[in-house]
């Protein structure tokens, strides 16, 4: 029986390994983490992350061929294939602070693998890492190898939160990069066989290590770039009377452009787009490519611009001040169908409004009050406006908002600012609301 161990039971490690386990009943999969509360949650009825379909997959194989444990060293020592899916945030201090990826967790995982291994291992980079990381990991492992053979593979993950299970069941592609040596190619083949249990062979791409590592950063940069492009257009739409949804639809009909990922918004969020682009920018700078670095930096700048443009729009519409005005914020996570608030644009929007002394009430059925408080307290933000949060109730998720009732209870003029273009603006206008939708005429 092939044994897989995954280091890191987070948004990627948990769902990815659960899907490998359900699709490969003959493989034993153990997910390990240094965080006891996380592992306890994976072993309980309330999983640590919310992801549609995840509960069913975990329930179907947990205790059979899927296990969650804090006994990191034991399971690493026993495994044939080790996935490393630890967090790789942006460095906050020292060389490259604010841009470079912080590989502390990765390095400590690699050193631990070297310490405890007694048999040959395939070590798979699942985390998103700077191109050439495999070389550094290889050095750490081989210089401490005690005669053990290590093969490093890059197998970046492309799942999106909110659709993780769907994406893992039917990935557009699986990417595996390895050394172009017989040993490297044998390892690539071994990992390919795992995915081949459910992914058609044509969708499993194999490349050299550096192409696989860089493709992950490139994919996220291209995706985020589309959002910044359409968001930049949304500002021009507002200035000219064009409608950004119509523009997106019209350009997306060109098969070379395609219709996906062209929704104008208050800005992209999530733990990865900004981090990975900053990482890309840093790598370009380190490689003496300032023009390339500046090109990608603009994607982040437009995203910051879009968030502040939204706040400015709220404040200027409400007669240039929101001081003392009650503003309800519906939704706090970085996108729908997730409770993840990392880098959510809602943080910047709420901070902007509170900075202008608004009284902000926030509601998100997937996010706890403590999490929201923590997010808004970050960066030494001077938080002196207590928030009024609704208690989370599962039924609220499915409830429809009664806009007529909301309108009747609001001070007039009553405003709605739609940061995702999800409300029926015309209907709300008929009720009497003043509605601002991103990139659309008033």
What residues between 77 and 106 interact with ligand UGA by CB under 6 A?
none
Among residues 282, 332, 334, 433, the one that binds ligand UGA under rule CB under 6 A? 334
- Residue 220 CB, shortest distance to ligand NAD, in Å, is 8
Contact flag: residue 76 with ligand UGA (CB under 6 A): no
3-state class of 124 per DSSP?
A: strand
Residue with smaller CB distance to ligand NAD, 8 or 269: 8
Residue among 6, 61, 272, 284 flagged as catalytic: 272
Contact flag: residue 87 with ligand NAD (CB under 6 A): yes
3-state class of 408 per DSSP?
A: helix
Residue 207: strand pairing partners: 177
The two three-digit tokens of residue 160, written as one number: 């999106």
d(CA 94, CA 118): 35
CB 357 within 8 A of CB 322: yes
- Residue 147 CB, shortest distance to ligand UGA, in Å, is 36
What residues between 115 and 154 interact with ligand NAD by CB under 6 A?
127-128
d(CA 280, CA 263): 24
Contact flag: residue 38 with ligand NAD (CB under 6 A): yes
Among residues 112, 140, 160, 218, the one that binds ligand UGA under rule CB under 6 A? 160
d(CA 413, CA 433): 7
The two three-digit tokens of residue 52, written as one number: 């549609």
- Residue 66 CB, shortest distance to ligand NAD, in Å, is 16
What residues between 4 and 23 interact with ligand NAD by CB under 6 A?
7-13
**272 among known catalytic residues:** yes
Cα→Cα distances 53→4, 44, 49, 278, Å: 22, 16, 11, 32
- For helices 345-355 and 369-377, give the axis angle rounded to 10 degrees: 70
CA–centroid distance for 161 within its chain: 6
Where helices occur in 126-208 by DSSP H, the ranges are: 133-142, 164-169, 182-195
What residues between 158 and 217 interact with ligand NAD by CB under 6 A?
159, 161
Contact flag: residue 332 with ligand UGA (CB under 6 A): no
Among 32, 246, 79, 56, smallest CA distance to 169 is for: 56
Residue with smaller CB distance to ligand UGA, 184 or 269: 269
Contact flag: residue 227 with ligand UGA (CB under 6 A): yes
d(CA 26, CA 404): 56
Q: Considering only the stretches 268-276, 293-301, 318-326, 403-411, report the one whose residues sit in contact with ligand UGA under the rule CB under 6 A.
A: 268-276
The two three-digit tokens of residue 333, written as one number: 């996570």
- Residue 391 CB, shortest distance to ligand UGA, in Å, is 25
Q: Give the footprint of ligand UGA on this chain (CB under 6 A).
A: 128, 157-161, 220, 223, 227, 261-263, 265, 268-270, 272-273, 334-335
Residues that bind ligand NAD (CB under 6 A): 7-13, 32-35, 38, 72, 85-88, 105, 108-109, 127-128, 157, 159, 161, 271-272
């Amino acid at each position: 029986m092939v044994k897989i161990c995954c280091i890191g039971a987070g948004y990627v490690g948990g769902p990815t390994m659960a899907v490998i386990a359900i699709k490969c009943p003959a493989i034993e999969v153990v997910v390990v983490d240094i965080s006891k509360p996380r592992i306890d949650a994976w072993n309980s009825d309330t999983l640590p992350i919310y992801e549609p379909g995840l509960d069913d997959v975990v329930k179907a194989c947990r205790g059979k061929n899927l296990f969650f444990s804090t006994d990191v060293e034991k399971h690493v020592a026993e495994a044939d294939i080790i996935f490393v899916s630890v967090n790789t945030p942006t460095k906050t201090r020292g060389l490259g602070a604010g841009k470079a990826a912080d590989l502390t967790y990765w390095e400590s995982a690699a050193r631990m693998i070297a310490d405890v291994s007694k048999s040959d291992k395939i070590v798979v980079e699942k985390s998103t890492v700077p191109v050439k990381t495999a070389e550094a990991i290889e050095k750490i492992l081989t210089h401490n190898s005690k005669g053990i053979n290590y093969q490093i593979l890059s197998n970046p993950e492309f799942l999106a939160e909110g659709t993780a299970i769907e994406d893992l069941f039917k990935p557009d592609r699986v990417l595996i990069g390895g050394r172009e040596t017989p040993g490297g190619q044998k390892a690539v083949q071994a990992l390919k066989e795992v995915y081949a249990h459910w992914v058609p062979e044509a969708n499993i791409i194999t490349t050299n290590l550096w192409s696989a590592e860089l493709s992950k950063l490139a994919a996220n940069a291209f995706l985020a770039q589309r959002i910044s492009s359409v968001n930049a257009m949304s500002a021009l739409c507002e200035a000219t009377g064009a409608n950004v949804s119509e523009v997106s639809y019209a350009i997306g009909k060109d098969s070379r452009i395609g219709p996906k990922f062209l929704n104008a918004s208050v800005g992209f969020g999530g733990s990865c787009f900004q981090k990975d682009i900053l990482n890309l920018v840093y790598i370009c700078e380190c490689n003496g490519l300032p023009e390339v670095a500046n090109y990608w930096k603009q994607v982040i700048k437009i995203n910051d611009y879009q968030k502040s443009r939204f706040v400015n729009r709220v404040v200027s519409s409400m007669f240039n001040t929101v001081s003392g005005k009650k503003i309800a914020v519906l939704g706090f996570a970085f996108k729908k169908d997730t409770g993840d608030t990392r880098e959510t644009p809602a943080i910047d929007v709420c901070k902007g409004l509170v900075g202008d002394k608004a009284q902000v009430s926030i509601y998100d059925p997937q996010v706890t009050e403590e999490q929201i408080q923590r997010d808004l307290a970050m960066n030494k933000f001077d938080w002196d406006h207590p928030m009024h949060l609704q208690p989370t109730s599962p039924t609220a998720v499915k409830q429809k908002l009664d806009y007529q009732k909301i309108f009747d209870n609001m001070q007039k003029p009553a405003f709605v600012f739609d940061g995702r273009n999800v409300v029926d603006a015309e209907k709300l206008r008929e009720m009497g609301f003043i509605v601002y939708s991103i990139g659309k005429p008033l």
